[in-house]
């Protein structure tokens, strides 16, 4: 006969429900700081959370087991994850005790992917869930709704998600728990983030890198992260690496990242609760001692990285659940990962075993006759906003964190005529950010994040007023702009940079993630997950708007002269194009003034993922600030000064472009046509907001058909020079009239270490390729067309040979300016 779940507090009232021979231990209080009464109530609260967790997985009726369990009480599809939940529940109970004892702000990040029922159970018990969802009442009827909504159509998922009060962390994709925890703690001196890392999650690259966050956490001005590595030994089917690693090796590995590692392990709930309470008391005291010492010395004087407390918790997977099912061990094995009893509706033995398991928590002792948590257990819940499900830092921050930005118009690039002056496109943004740091110096609400590329991407002006953050030893004779109180966060991990900023945003603060274009794909999946969070969050009335995630891509595919093919890839544009229009924004400013206007909008915006793509190298400038603002407002439009048509005259071809290099090549192509084919009438169109080309039913920025035809006409051929992959434009214009007339030139996955012009030649986006296409599509005279195309082919061959011979582009191409 299968061994049944163990009841961990003796209760004669349920003895009749427990089969003979079941091991029910005598009362024990273990050794530790918890008194008999507090320990007993904490264990019962834990039982309540375990009961609600199991109920979410299994039950659709009979939520308090007031009647014998029947097959009709069981959901038709059993979905969810039990294995990690008892450990998550125990940690939550311990955190509640610590908060009540000391009265501090804390949030809970559940790294184990499918711990959703655990966090839902706790927020329901503490009341924050019902405050957000009033129909899920704290009574029997509300409990029934709680159970029925879990992993059912239109309900809540099995992982911690945006629908879970108190969460800033999406549990669907593993690896980001610690980076989100540190991002929330930055500039948040009173907050402690409890970050539970699953042993499966600990195997991911992003999580492995995230342990290094201690080198950037300044205890004088930041909050604290309390990592708890929860080892239960197994993933969905396999043992975990750290689960099979010795304590000594784990301590050496994680201790090397600056942690003081303490272990708690066992399967006796009484003793584990005592041990965990003692260890968490010690951890809290160490955190406050580190902070007190640092705050006495000041944020600029922290020259050594503190040894922050960190806990390793070893408990059985599926703790307190079925021990053996059908002769196979379950508790403490991979079989407990998801649904330990899977055939409950069809198998009477499984149904009986489920009933014994759930009754072992003694719901009648936990909930009163109305189905409400008993008052003596409610006394364990922190008050008001100190409840982790109700803490403002888990819902956009407490307010007062708006960004004070200087007027972007003050940074205008002034020129005599368009297409003549060269400026490094991103450098003025660095100047604007420098002044933004100064204006927000007392608000602690702004940071920039970059993988060691701040200066490389021409944003170095911010270093005039802040430094690169590094908490650790410095070499004054060598280090430049390094300080423990810096707000420029540079670490060679796109995952860390983006994860830190995501949590910084979700807790109400502002920032910018700047990186090389090709390597934004390293964290592209994070971008996808964040857009999903924002998409869902916008549907929840209780979720406050949060500052947008702003991503700046520079060192683009067209201007990586010395780096080569590995650094050439504009794929993040395609990734973001697949996201809903309510959230995703893609901007391709052609010059500084448009970029400054775009950046101001993005930094002020809420609930978006804003992608800005612009190269850092010197580029020609085209629009005054007034023109740039007007251009950005509509998103795309004709540049009349670059067109060869007269006002109101129908063009033979539309020359369109999106991006700085494509704009230059399209302008040069238009000028060549003006000089050599003056009879060809060209309308020049620039696109800065890529989403403006989408139909308005797919994106709020989309142009209606009348306006789109006003710009691109109804049937005129369009030659389109595009920064990214060509297929993106074809996807964008899907649904537009006569879309086959668009002939797109863009990145074709052709690249190498070469000159700037040879890069556009390799990808057939050079001025000569664009002019050839315009002639082919816009002219009717076949003989003249062939002659002109031969001439353009000669220009391509000549420029290519020159680059091979001289290692640079011809002077007339290098030094080209608009003369039209």
Q: What is the pLDDT of residues 777-812, one digit of tens each?
A: 998 777 788 899 999 999 999 999 999 999 999 999
Which tens digits make up the pLDDT trace of 666-683? 999 999 999 999 999 999
- Residue 308's closest CA among 430, 229, 213? 213
- Residue 107's closest CA among 211, 217, 188? 188
Q: Is the pLDDT score of 303 beyond 90?
A: no
- Phi then psi for residue 241, to 5 deg, are -65, -55
Which tens digits make up the pLDDT trace of 454-507? 999 999 999 999 999 999 999 989 999 999 999 999 999 999 999 999 999 999
Q: Report the alpha-carbon distance of residue 435 to residue 249 in Å, rounded.
A: 47
- Phi then psi for residue 589, to 5 deg, are -65, 135
Under 8 Å between Cβ of 471 and 215: yes
Q: Hey, is 447 helix, strand or coil?
A: strand
Does residue 5 lie in a domain region? Answer: no
pLDDT for 28 equals 62
Q: How many helices (H) and strands (E) does the chain have?
A: 25, 22
pTM: 0.94
Under 8 Å between Cβ of 265 and 332: no
Where among 364, 381, 398 does a domain terminate?
381
Same domain, 94 and 208: yes
- Please report where in the chains the tokens 């061990």 appear, as a residue: 329
Does residue 820 lie in a domain region? Answer: no
Where among 346, 381, 416 does a domain terminate?
381
pLDDT for 770 equals 98
Same domain, 363 and 418: no
Q: Report the alpha-carbon distance of residue 412 to residue 429 in Å, rounded.
A: 10
- Residue 558's closest CA among 747, 818, 795? 747
Q: Report the alpha-carbon distance of residue 194 to residue 669 in Å, rounded.
A: 58
**pLDDT, mean of residues 576-602:** 95
Does residue 344 lie in a domain region? Answer: yes
Q: Burial letters for 64-100: b for 16+ Cβ neighbours within 10 Å, e otherwise? A: bbeeebeeebbbeebebbbbbbbbbbbbbbbbbbbbe
Same domain, 241 and 181: yes
Does residue 6 lie in a domain region? Answer: no
**pLDDT, mean of residues 296-322:** 95
Which tens digits make up the pLDDT trace of 232-268? 999 888 999 999 999 999 999 999 999 999 999 999 9
Under 8 Å between Cβ of 777 and 653: yes
Average pLDDT for the chain: 93
**pLDDT, mean of residues 646-661:** 94
Q: Burial letters for 558-577: b for 16+ Cβ neighbours within 10 Å, e otherwise? A: bbbeeeeeebbbbbbbbbbb
Query: How many Cβ atoms sit within 10 Å of the Cβ of residue 36?
Result: 9
β pairing state of 549-554 and 510-516 = parallel
pLDDT for 5 equals 44
Same domain, 645 and 598: no
Q: What is the CA radius of gyration of the chain?
A: 31
Confidence band, pLDDT 50/70/90 cuts, at residue 331: very high
Q: Report the alpha-carbon distance of residue 150 to residue 80 in Å, rounded.
A: 8
Does residue 396 lie in a domain region? Answer: no
Biggest CA pair distance of the chain: 102
Confidence band, pLDDT 50/70/90 cuts, at residue 552: very high
Q: Report the alpha-carbon distance of residue 610 to residue 33 in Å, rounded.
A: 50
* Ordered DSSP codes for 310-338: EEEEE--TTTTS-SEETTEE-TTSGGGSS
* Ordered DSSP codes for 375-440: HHHHTTSPPGGGSTTT-GGGTT-SS--------GGGG----SSTT--EEETTHHHHHHHHHHHHHT
Helix (H) / strand (E) element for 482: namely strand 482-483
Q: Which domain holds residue 468?
A: 408-619
Angle at 451 between CA 445 and CA 455, to 5 degrees: 85
Q: Is the pLDDT score of 62 beyond 80?
A: yes
Contacting residues for 488 by C-beta, under 8 A, at least 6 apart: 447, 448, 450, 454, 462, 463, 466, 467, 468, 469, 481
Q: Quick one: tokens of 812?
A: 């007339």
Number of structural domains in the chain:
3
Which tens digits make up the pLDDT trace of 770-781? 999 999 999 877
Q: Hey, is 636 helix, strand or coil?
A: strand
Same domain, 501 and 594: yes
Q: Quick one: tokens of 244?
A: 């099979």
Same domain, 377 and 420: no
Which tens digits make up the pLDDT trace of 176-226? 999 999 999 999 999 999 999 999 999 999 999 999 999 999 999 999 999
Does residue 398 lie in a domain region? Answer: no
Same domain, 568 and 705: no
Same domain, 570 and 678: no
**pLDDT, mean of residues 56-66:** 97
| CATH number of domain containing 810 | 3.40.50.920
Angle at 445 between CA 522 and CA 259, to 5 degrees: 60
Same domain, 214 and 320: yes
Q: Report the alpha-carbon distance of residue 757 to residue 655 in Å, rounded.
A: 19
Query: How many Cβ atoms sit within 10 Å of the Cβ of residue 269?
Result: 24
Same domain, 611 and 639: no
| CATH number of domain containing 122 | 3.40.50.970
Q: Report the alpha-carbon distance of residue 365 to residue 17 in Å, rounded.
A: 14
Per-residue HEC secondary structure of 150-173 comes to ECCCCCECCCCCCCCCCCCCCCCC
Q: Is the pLDDT score of 16 beyond 60?
A: no
Q: Report the alpha-carbon distance of residue 710 to residue 383 in Å, rounded.
A: 60
**Beta-ladder partners of 367:** 373
Where among 619, 652, 680 does a domain terminate?
619
Angle at 100 between CA 94 and CA 105, to 5 degrees: 90
pLDDT for 374 equals 98
Query: How many Cβ atoms sit within 10 Å of the Cβ of residue 675?
Result: 10
H-assigned helices in 617-685:
625-634, 660-676
First to last CA, the chain: 90
Same domain, 349 and 427: no
Q: Quick one: tokens of 458?
A: 């021409």
pLDDT for 12 equals 31
pLDDT for 172 equals 79
**Beta-ladder partners of 150:** 156
β pairing state of 636-638 and 653-658 = unpaired
Same domain, 377 and 433: no
Q: Is the pLDDT score of 356 beyond 50?
A: yes
Q: Is the pLDDT score of 757 beyond 60?
A: yes
Under 8 Å between Cβ of 636 and 623: no
% of residues, the chain, pLDDT over 70:
96
Angle at 222 between CA 217 and CA 225, to 5 degrees: 65
Torsion, Cα 288 191 513 207, to 10 degrees, reads: 70
pLDDT for 427 equals 97
Does residue 424 lie in a domain region? Answer: yes
Does residue 624 lie in a domain region? Answer: no
% of residues, the chain, pLDDT over 90:
86
Q: Report the alpha-carbon distance of residue 574 to residue 517 in Å, rounded.
A: 12
Q: Report the alpha-carbon distance of residue 92 to residue 49 in Å, rounded.
A: 10
Per-residue HEC secondary structure of 79-90 comes to CCCCCCHHHHHH
């Amino acid at each position: 006969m299968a061994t049944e779940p163990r009841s961990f507090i003796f209760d004669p009232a349920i003895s009749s429900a427990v089969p003979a021979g079941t091991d029910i231990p005598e009362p024990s209080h273990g050794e530790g700081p918890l008194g008999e009464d507090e320990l007993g109530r904490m264990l019962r609260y834990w039982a309540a959370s375990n009961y609600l967790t199991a109920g979410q997985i299994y039950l659709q009726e009979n939520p308090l087991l007031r009647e014998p369990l029947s097959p009709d009480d069981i959901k038709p599809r059993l979905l969810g994850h039990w294995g990690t939940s008892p450990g998550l529940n125990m940690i939550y109970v311990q955190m509640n005790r610590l908060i009540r004892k000391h009265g501090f702000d804390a949030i809970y990040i559940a790294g184990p992917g499918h711990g959703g029922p655990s966090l839902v159970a706790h927020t329901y018990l503490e009341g924050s869930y019902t405050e957000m969802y009033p129909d899920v009442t704290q009574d029997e009827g509300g409990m029934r709704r709680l159970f029925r909504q879990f992993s059912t159509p239109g309900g809540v998922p099995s992982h911690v998600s945006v629908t879970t009060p108190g969460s800033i962390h999406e549990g669907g994709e593993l690896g980001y728990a610690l980076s989100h925890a540190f991002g929330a703690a930055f500039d948040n001196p009173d907050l402690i983030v409890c970050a539970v890392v699953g042993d499966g999650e600990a195997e991911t690259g992003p999580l492995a890198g995230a342990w290094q966050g201690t080198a950037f956490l300044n205890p004088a001005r930041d909050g604290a992260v309390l990592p708890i590595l929860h080892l239960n030994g197994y993933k969905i089917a396999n043992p975990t690496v750290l689960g099979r690693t010795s304590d000594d090796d784990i301590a050496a590995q994680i201790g090397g990242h600056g942690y003081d590692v303490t272990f708690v392990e066992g399967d006796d709930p009484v003793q584990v609760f005592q041990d965990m309470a003692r260890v968490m008391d010690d951890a809290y005291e160490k955190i406050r001692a580190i902070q007190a010492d640092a705050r006495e010395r000041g944020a600029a004087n922290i020259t050594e990285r503190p040894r922050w407390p960190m806990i390793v918790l070893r408990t059985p997977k599926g703790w307190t659940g079925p021990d053996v099912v059908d002769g196979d061990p379950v508790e403490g094995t991979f079989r407990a990962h998801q649904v330990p009893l899977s055939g409950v509706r069809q198998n009477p033995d499984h149904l009986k075993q489920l009933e014994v398991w759930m009754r072992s928590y003694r719901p009648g002792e936990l909930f009163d006759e109305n189905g409400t948590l008993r008052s003596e257990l409610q006394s364990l819940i922190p008050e008001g906003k100190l409840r982790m499900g109700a803490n403002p830092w888990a819902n956009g921050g407490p307010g007062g964190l708006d960004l004070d930005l200087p007027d972007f118009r003050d940074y205008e690039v002034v020129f005599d005529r368009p297409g003549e002056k060269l400026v490094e496109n991103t450098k003025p943004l660095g100047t604007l950010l420098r002044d933004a740091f100064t204006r927000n110096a007392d608000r602690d609400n702004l940071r920039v994040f970059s993988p060691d590329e701040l200066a490389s991407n021409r944003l170095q002006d911010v270093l005039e007023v802040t430094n690169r953050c590094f908490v650790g030893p410095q070499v004054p004779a060598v280090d430049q702009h390094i300080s423990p109180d810096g707000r420029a966060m540079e670490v060679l991990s796109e995952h860390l940079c983006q994860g830190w900023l995501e949590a910084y945003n979700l807790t109400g603060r502002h920032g910018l993630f700047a990186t090389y274009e090709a390597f934004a794909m390293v964290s592209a999946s994070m971008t996808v997950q964040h857009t999903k969070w924002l998409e869902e969050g916008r549907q929840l009335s209780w979720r406050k708007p949060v500052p947008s995630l702003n991503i700046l891509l520079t060192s683009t595919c067209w201007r990586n002269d010395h780096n080569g093919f590995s650094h050439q890839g504009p794929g993040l544009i395609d990734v973001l194009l697949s996201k809903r229009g309510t959230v995703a924004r893609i901007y391709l400013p052609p010059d500084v003034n448009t970029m400054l206007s775009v950046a101001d909008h993005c930094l002020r915006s809420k609930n978006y993922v804003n992608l800005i793509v612009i190269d850092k190298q010197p580029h020609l400038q085209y629009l005054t600030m007034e023109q740039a603002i007007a251009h950005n407002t509509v998103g795309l439009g004709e540049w009349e000064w670059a067109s060869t048509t007269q006002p109101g005259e129908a063009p033979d071809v539309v020359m369109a472009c999106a991006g700085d290099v494509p704009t230059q090549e399209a302008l040069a192509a238009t000028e060549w046509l003006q000089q050599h084919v003056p009879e060809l009438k060209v309308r020049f169109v620039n696109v800065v907001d890529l989403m403006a080309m989408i139909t308005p039913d797919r994106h709020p920025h989309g142009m209606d058909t009348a306006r789109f035809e006003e710009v691109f006409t109804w049937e005129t051929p369009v030659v389109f020079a595009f920064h990214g992959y060509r297929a993106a434009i074809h996807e964008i214009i899907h649904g537009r009239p006569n879309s086959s007339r668009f002939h797109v030139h863009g990145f074709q996955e052709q690249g190498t270490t070469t000159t700037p012009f040879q890069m556009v030649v390799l990808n057939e986006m050079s001025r000569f390729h664009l002019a050839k296409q315009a002639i082919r599509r816009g002219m009717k005279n076949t003989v003249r067309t062939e002659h002109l195309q031969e001439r353009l082919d000669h220009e391509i061959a000549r420029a290519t040979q020159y680059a091979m011979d001289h290692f640079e582009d011809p002077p007339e191409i290098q030094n080209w300016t608009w003369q039209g």
